[in-house]
């Protein structure tokens, strides 16, 4: 293709990145589903898989937001980026992941605190990895 190769617009590149982020999220969610379907439960493998899913979800959300902002007017885009990320939303993620960890472990009684702390660790590590990934 060389010199005749058509340059992609920034919007096209964002769309391509968005689609790849979705595919990555889809792959990691599928891997987690495979772990969940296994007869034997490996807590370490489940936690790592959850971190990968959460990291992929954050990446997907970021690329979705960038694509949406690129499609807005400059004024709307500035307003959009001023909206802070909600800590309440993160709390729901922790709750959902804690419940999943509990289900993966066979719903044992008395594990709520441990499941919650592990879920917080998953969300924290995924967030740190997503924000600092190259």
**How far is residue 92 from each of residues 56, 67, 87, 119, measured CA to CA in Å?**
17, 25, 9, 11
Model confidence at 3, pLDDT cuts 50, 70, 90, reads very low
Residue 31: pLDDT band (50, 70, 90) is: very high
101 contact partners, CB below 8 Å, separation of at least 6? 43, 46, 47, 50, 115, 118, 119
Q: What is the tens place of the pLDDT at every residue in 72-127?
A: 888 888 877 776 665 556 777 888 888 888 888 888 999 999 999 998 888 888 77
Q: What mean pLDDT is reported for the chain?
A: 82
Rounded average pLDDT over 41-49: 86
Q: What is the pTM of this model?
A: 0.70
d(CA 94, CA 89): 9
């Amino acid at each position: 293709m060389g010199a005749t190769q058509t340059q992609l617009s920034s919007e096209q590149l964002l769309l391509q990145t968005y689609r790849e982020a979705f595919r990555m999220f889809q792959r990691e969610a599928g891997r987690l589903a495979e772990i969940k379907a296994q007869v034997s439960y490996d807590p370490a493998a489940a936690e790592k898989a959850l971190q990968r899913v959460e990291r992929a979800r954050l990446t997907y959300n970021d690329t979705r937001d960038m694509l949406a902002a690129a499609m807005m007017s400059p004024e709307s885009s500035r307003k959009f980026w001023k909206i802070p990320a909600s800590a309440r939303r993160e709390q729901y993620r922790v709750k959902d992941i804690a419940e999943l960890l509990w289900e993966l472990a066979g719903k044992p009684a008395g594990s709520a605190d441990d499941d919650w702390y592990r879920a917080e660790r998953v969300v924290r590590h995924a967030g740190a990895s997503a924000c600092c990934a190259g």
